[in-house]
Protein backbone atom coordinates (compact mmCIF):
# COMPACT_ATOMS: atom_id res chain seq x y z
CA UNK A 1 0.00 0.00 0.00
CA UNK A 2 1.10 3.54 -0.32
CA UNK A 3 0.02 6.99 0.75
CA UNK A 4 -2.60 8.53 -1.50
CA UNK A 5 -1.81 11.59 -3.58
CA UNK A 6 1.51 13.35 -3.62
CA UNK A 7 4.27 12.32 -5.96
CA UNK A 8 2.94 8.77 -6.38
CA UNK A 9 0.08 10.04 -8.50
CA UNK A 10 2.60 11.11 -11.12
CA UNK A 11 4.41 7.76 -11.24
CA UNK A 12 4.33 6.29 -14.75
CA UNK A 13 2.04 3.44 -15.76
CA UNK A 14 4.29 0.78 -17.29
CA UNK A 15 2.80 -1.98 -19.42
CA UNK A 16 4.36 -5.46 -19.09
CA UNK A 17 5.08 -8.06 -21.76
CA UNK A 18 3.67 -11.60 -21.37
CA UNK A 19 7.19 -12.79 -20.38
CA UNK A 20 7.41 -10.12 -17.69
CA UNK A 21 3.97 -11.05 -16.40
CA UNK A 22 5.17 -14.65 -16.12
CA UNK A 23 8.09 -13.55 -13.93
CA UNK A 24 5.69 -11.44 -11.87
CA UNK A 25 3.52 -14.52 -11.43
CA UNK A 26 6.55 -16.42 -10.10
CA UNK A 27 7.34 -13.54 -7.73
CA UNK A 28 3.74 -13.42 -6.54
CA UNK A 29 3.62 -17.19 -6.09
CA UNK A 30 6.52 -16.90 -3.63
CA UNK A 31 4.46 -14.28 -1.78
CA UNK A 32 1.40 -16.57 -1.89
CA UNK A 33 3.44 -19.47 -0.50
CA UNK A 34 4.64 -17.30 2.38
CA UNK A 35 1.11 -16.11 3.17
CA UNK A 36 -0.21 -19.70 3.08
CA UNK A 37 2.52 -20.70 5.52
CA UNK A 38 1.61 -17.77 7.80
CA UNK A 39 -2.05 -18.81 7.67
CA UNK A 40 -1.03 -22.28 8.86
CA UNK A 41 1.23 -21.24 11.74
CA UNK A 42 -0.62 -18.21 13.12
CA UNK A 43 -2.08 -19.12 16.51
CA UNK A 44 -2.39 -17.62 19.98
CA UNK A 45 1.04 -17.20 21.61
CA UNK A 46 3.15 -16.73 18.48
CA UNK A 47 4.95 -13.39 18.17
CA UNK A 48 4.82 -11.18 15.12
CA UNK A 49 8.64 -11.30 15.14
CA UNK A 50 8.54 -15.10 14.67
CA UNK A 51 6.20 -14.68 11.70
CA UNK A 52 8.50 -12.09 10.14
CA UNK A 53 11.51 -14.38 10.55
CA UNK A 54 9.72 -17.34 8.94
CA UNK A 55 8.52 -15.19 6.03
CA UNK A 56 12.02 -13.86 5.33
CA UNK A 57 13.61 -17.32 5.51
CA UNK A 58 11.12 -18.86 3.10
CA UNK A 59 11.50 -15.92 0.74
CA UNK A 60 15.30 -16.14 0.66
CA UNK A 61 15.16 -19.92 0.17
CA UNK A 62 13.20 -19.20 -3.02
CA UNK A 63 16.01 -16.93 -4.31
CA UNK A 64 13.96 -13.82 -3.78
CA UNK A 65 14.52 -10.71 -1.69
CA UNK A 66 12.00 -9.31 0.79
CA UNK A 67 10.63 -6.15 -0.79
CA UNK A 68 9.70 -4.19 2.32
CA UNK A 69 12.93 -4.61 4.29
CA UNK A 70 14.71 -1.27 4.07
CA UNK A 71 11.97 0.22 1.87
CA UNK A 72 12.01 3.89 2.98
CA UNK A 73 13.67 2.48 6.10
CA UNK A 74 11.03 -0.11 7.07
CA UNK A 75 12.93 -2.39 9.48
CA UNK A 76 11.45 -5.82 8.66
CA UNK A 77 10.29 -8.11 5.86
CA UNK A 78 6.65 -8.49 6.85
CA UNK A 79 4.06 -5.86 7.72
CA UNK A 80 2.01 -7.15 10.67
CA UNK A 81 -1.06 -5.16 11.67
CA UNK A 82 -3.13 -6.37 14.62
CA UNK A 83 -6.77 -5.38 15.33
CA UNK A 84 -7.01 -1.55 15.13
CA UNK A 85 -3.73 -1.42 13.20
CA UNK A 86 -4.56 -0.92 9.53
CA UNK A 87 -1.23 -1.41 7.73
CA UNK A 88 2.56 -1.09 8.16
CA UNK A 89 2.75 -2.62 11.63
CA UNK A 90 6.33 -3.48 12.68
CA UNK A 91 7.06 -7.05 13.86
CA UNK A 92 8.06 -7.33 17.52
CA UNK A 93 9.21 -10.06 19.90
CA UNK A 94 6.97 -8.49 22.53
CA UNK A 95 3.81 -8.65 20.44
CA UNK A 96 2.35 -12.09 21.04
CA UNK A 97 -0.94 -12.80 19.34
CA UNK A 98 -3.99 -13.54 21.47
CA UNK A 99 -7.15 -15.51 20.80
CA UNK A 100 -9.69 -13.20 19.19
CA UNK A 101 -7.11 -10.96 17.50
CA UNK A 102 -7.06 -10.36 13.78
CA UNK A 103 -3.73 -10.00 11.99
CA UNK A 104 -3.09 -8.43 8.62
CA UNK A 105 0.08 -9.86 7.08
CA UNK A 106 1.33 -7.97 4.06
CA UNK A 107 4.30 -9.41 2.20
CA UNK A 108 6.27 -8.49 -0.89
CA UNK A 109 9.27 -9.92 -2.73
CA UNK A 110 11.55 -9.02 -5.57
CA UNK A 111 12.35 -11.95 -7.87
CA UNK A 112 14.32 -11.71 -11.11
CA UNK A 113 13.87 -7.96 -11.07
CA UNK A 114 10.10 -7.93 -10.56
CA UNK A 115 7.92 -7.47 -7.52
CA UNK A 116 5.07 -9.43 -5.97
CA UNK A 117 2.76 -7.99 -3.30
CA UNK A 118 -0.18 -9.54 -1.47
CA UNK A 119 -1.87 -9.40 1.92
CA UNK A 120 -4.42 -11.30 3.96
CA UNK A 121 -6.10 -10.73 7.32
CA UNK A 122 -6.01 -13.83 9.52
CA UNK A 123 -8.25 -14.60 12.50
CA UNK A 124 -6.26 -15.74 15.57
CA UNK A 125 -8.27 -18.55 17.14
CA UNK A 126 -11.98 -17.87 17.38
CA UNK A 127 -13.04 -14.30 16.62
CA UNK A 128 -16.31 -12.49 17.25
CA UNK A 129 -19.04 -12.61 14.61
CA UNK A 130 -18.96 -8.87 13.77
CA UNK A 131 -15.19 -9.07 13.21
CA UNK A 132 -15.60 -12.20 11.11
CA UNK A 133 -18.16 -10.32 9.00
CA UNK A 134 -15.71 -7.44 8.47
CA UNK A 135 -13.08 -9.89 7.21
CA UNK A 136 -15.58 -11.56 4.89
CA UNK A 137 -16.86 -8.30 3.42
CA UNK A 138 -13.33 -6.97 2.90
CA UNK A 139 -12.31 -10.18 1.10
CA UNK A 140 -15.48 -9.99 -1.02
CA UNK A 141 -14.74 -6.35 -1.83
CA UNK A 142 -11.35 -7.38 -3.17
CA UNK A 143 -12.96 -10.13 -5.27
CA UNK A 144 -15.53 -7.69 -6.68
CA UNK A 145 -12.77 -5.20 -7.45
CA UNK A 146 -10.79 -7.89 -9.28
CA UNK A 147 -13.85 -8.68 -11.45
CA UNK A 148 -13.61 -5.12 -12.81
CA UNK A 149 -10.08 -5.72 -14.14
CA UNK A 150 -11.22 -5.76 -17.74
CA UNK A 151 -9.61 -3.99 -20.70
CA UNK A 152 -11.41 -0.69 -21.32
CA UNK A 153 -12.70 -0.31 -17.78
CA UNK A 154 -11.30 2.48 -15.65
CA UNK A 155 -9.53 2.28 -12.30
CA UNK A 156 -12.65 3.95 -10.87
CA UNK A 157 -14.69 0.85 -11.80
CA UNK A 158 -12.50 -1.13 -9.41
CA UNK A 159 -12.74 1.60 -6.77
CA UNK A 160 -16.53 1.74 -7.04
CA UNK A 161 -16.96 -2.04 -6.72
CA UNK A 162 -14.81 -2.13 -3.58
CA UNK A 163 -16.39 0.94 -2.00
CA UNK A 164 -20.01 -0.04 -2.72
CA UNK A 165 -19.63 -3.48 -1.17
CA UNK A 166 -17.68 -2.25 1.84
CA UNK A 167 -20.10 0.57 2.58
CA UNK A 168 -23.14 -1.66 2.02
CA UNK A 169 -21.79 -3.75 4.88
CA UNK A 170 -21.90 -0.65 7.09
CA UNK A 171 -18.13 -0.17 7.13
CA UNK A 172 -15.89 2.67 6.06
CA UNK A 173 -13.13 2.75 3.47
CA UNK A 174 -9.62 3.97 4.27
CA UNK A 175 -8.78 6.92 2.03
CA UNK A 176 -5.30 7.85 3.08
CA UNK A 177 -3.74 4.69 1.61
CA UNK A 178 -4.43 3.12 -1.77
CA UNK A 179 -3.43 0.27 -4.09
CA UNK A 180 -0.91 0.80 -6.88
CA UNK A 181 0.65 -0.33 -10.10
CA UNK A 182 3.47 -2.86 -9.60
CA UNK A 183 6.27 -4.20 -11.77
CA UNK A 184 10.03 -3.62 -11.73
CA UNK A 185 9.21 -1.23 -8.87
CA UNK A 186 7.08 -2.05 -5.85
CA UNK A 187 4.96 1.04 -6.38
CA UNK A 188 4.21 2.32 -9.88
CA UNK A 189 1.31 4.24 -11.34
CA UNK A 190 -1.60 4.24 -11.37
CA UNK A 191 -2.96 4.72 -7.87
CA UNK A 192 -5.77 2.25 -7.18
CA UNK A 193 -8.03 3.89 -4.57
CA UNK A 194 -10.68 1.87 -2.76
CA UNK A 195 -13.14 4.74 -3.14
CA UNK A 196 -14.35 6.83 -6.07
CA UNK A 197 -12.93 10.32 -6.24
CA UNK A 198 -13.55 13.27 -8.53
CA UNK A 199 -11.97 13.36 -11.97
CA UNK A 200 -11.30 10.70 -14.55
CA UNK A 201 -9.07 7.76 -13.65
CA UNK A 202 -6.88 5.86 -16.14
CA UNK A 203 -8.29 3.18 -18.41
CA UNK A 204 -7.10 -0.40 -18.00
CA UNK A 205 -5.00 -1.61 -20.89
CA UNK A 206 -3.56 -5.02 -21.63
CA UNK A 207 -0.32 -5.68 -19.77
CA UNK A 208 -0.96 -3.40 -16.79
CA UNK A 209 -0.38 -5.03 -13.41
CA UNK A 210 -2.01 -3.53 -10.32
CA UNK A 211 -2.14 -4.33 -6.62
CA UNK A 212 -5.72 -3.98 -5.40
CA UNK A 213 -5.86 -3.74 -1.62
CA UNK A 214 -9.02 -2.72 0.22
CA UNK A 215 -8.44 -1.46 3.78
CA UNK A 216 -11.84 -1.42 5.46
CA UNK A 217 -12.67 -0.21 8.96
CA UNK A 218 -15.38 -1.17 11.44
CA UNK A 219 -15.75 2.48 12.50
CA UNK A 220 -14.42 5.73 11.12
CA UNK A 221 -12.41 5.83 7.89
CA UNK A 222 -9.91 8.12 9.62
CA UNK A 223 -6.49 6.76 10.45
CA UNK A 224 -3.33 8.05 12.10
CA UNK A 225 0.31 7.02 12.18
CA UNK A 226 1.90 6.00 15.49
CA UNK A 227 5.09 7.59 16.79
CA UNK A 228 7.15 4.68 15.40
CA UNK A 229 6.64 6.46 12.08
CA UNK A 230 5.04 3.42 10.44
CA UNK A 231 2.11 1.75 12.16
CA UNK A 232 -1.18 3.08 10.81
CA UNK A 233 -4.11 2.70 13.23
CA UNK A 234 -7.78 3.64 13.06
CA UNK A 235 -8.52 7.00 14.73
CA UNK A 236 -11.28 5.40 16.87
CA UNK A 237 -9.26 2.23 17.64
CA UNK A 238 -11.92 0.02 16.09
CA UNK A 239 -10.69 -2.97 14.06
CA UNK A 240 -9.62 -2.84 10.43
CA UNK A 241 -9.18 -5.50 7.72
CA UNK A 242 -6.84 -5.61 4.71
CA UNK A 243 -6.68 -7.99 1.74
CA UNK A 244 -4.51 -7.58 -1.35
CA UNK A 245 -3.81 -9.30 -4.66
CA UNK A 246 -1.54 -8.37 -7.56
CA UNK A 247 -3.58 -8.66 -10.75
CA UNK A 248 -2.62 -8.47 -14.45
CA UNK A 249 -4.91 -7.01 -17.10
CA UNK A 250 -5.14 -9.58 -19.91
CA UNK A 251 -7.31 -10.13 -22.99
CA UNK A 252 -8.90 -13.02 -21.10
CA UNK A 253 -9.81 -10.79 -18.14
CA UNK A 254 -8.21 -10.49 -14.71
CA UNK A 255 -5.23 -12.74 -14.02
CA UNK A 256 -4.64 -12.92 -10.25
CA UNK A 257 -0.89 -13.46 -9.92
CA UNK A 258 -0.86 -13.99 -6.14
CA UNK A 259 -3.56 -16.71 -5.96
CA UNK A 260 -3.17 -19.06 -3.00
CA UNK A 261 -4.13 -22.73 -3.14
CB of 51 closer than 8 Å to CB of 42: yes
Binding pattern for the stretch 212-241 against Mg ion, x by CB under 5 A and - elsewhere: ------------------------------
- Looking at 89-97, 137-145, 203-211, 248-256, which segment touches Mg ion (CB under 5 A)? 203-211
- Give the binding range for Mg ion (CB under 5 A) out of 45-53, 115-123, 195-203, 228-236: 115-123
β-strands 188-192, 177-181 pairing: antiparallel
174 binds Mg ion, rule: CB under 5 A: no
CB closer to Mg ion out of 38 and 211: 211
167 CB-contact burial (10 Å; exposed 0-12 / middle 13-18 / buried 19+):
middle
Q: Which is nearer to Mg ion, 36 or 168 (CB)?
A: 36
Q: Which of 33, 106, 157, 188 binds Mg ion (CB under 5 A)?
A: 106
Strands (E), 137-252: 172-173, 177-181, 188-192, 209-212, 215-217, 223-225, 232-234, 240-242, 245-250
Minimum Å distance from CB 96 to Mg ion? 23
31 vs 137 by CB, closer to Mg ion: 31
Taking the complex as a whole, how short is the minimal distance between the CB of residue 119 and Mg ion, in angstroms?
5
Distances (CA, A) of 93 to 49, 54, 170, 220: 5, 13, 35, 30
> What residues from 68 to 87 belong to the interface with Mg ion (CB under 5 A)?
none
Nearest-angstrom CA–CA distance, 230 and 214: 18
Distance CA(196)–CA(175), nearest Å, equals 10
* 39 or 168: CB nearest Mg ion: 39
31 vs 127, which CB is nearer to Mg ion? 31
Q: Contact between 117 and Mg ion (CB under 5 A)?
A: yes
Q: Which of 55, 82, 119, 135 binds Mg ion (CB under 5 A)?
A: 119
Length of the chain: 261
Q: Which is nearer to Mg ion, 100 or 202 (CB)?
A: 202
Q: How many residues bind to Mg ion according to rule CB under 5 A? A: 6
Q: Choose the binding region for Mg ion from 4-12, 100-108, 125-133, 163-171 (rule: CB under 5 A).
A: 100-108
In angstroms, the CA 134 to CA 144 distance is: 15
* Interface stretch with Mg ion, choices 12-20, 50-58, 114-122, 247-255 (CB under 5 A): 114-122
Spell out the SS3 assignment of 1-56.
CEECCHHHHHCCCCCCCHHHHHHHHHHHHHHHHHHHHHHHHCCCCCEHHHHHHHHH
Instruction: State how far the Cα of 187 lies from the Cα of 211, in Å rounded to an integer.
Output: 9
User: Residue 257 CB, nearest distance to Mg ion (Å)?
Assistant: 12
- Which residues form the interface with Mg ion (CB under 5 A)? 1, 106, 117, 119, 211, 244
Amino acid sequence: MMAAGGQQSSKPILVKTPDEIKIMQDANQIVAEVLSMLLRVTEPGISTFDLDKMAEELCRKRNSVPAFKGYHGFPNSLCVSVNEEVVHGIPSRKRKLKKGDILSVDFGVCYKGFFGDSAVTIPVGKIKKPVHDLLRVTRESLELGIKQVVIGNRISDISRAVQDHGEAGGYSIVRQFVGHGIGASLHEGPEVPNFVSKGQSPRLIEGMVIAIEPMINMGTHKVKVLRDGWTVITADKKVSAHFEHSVAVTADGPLVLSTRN
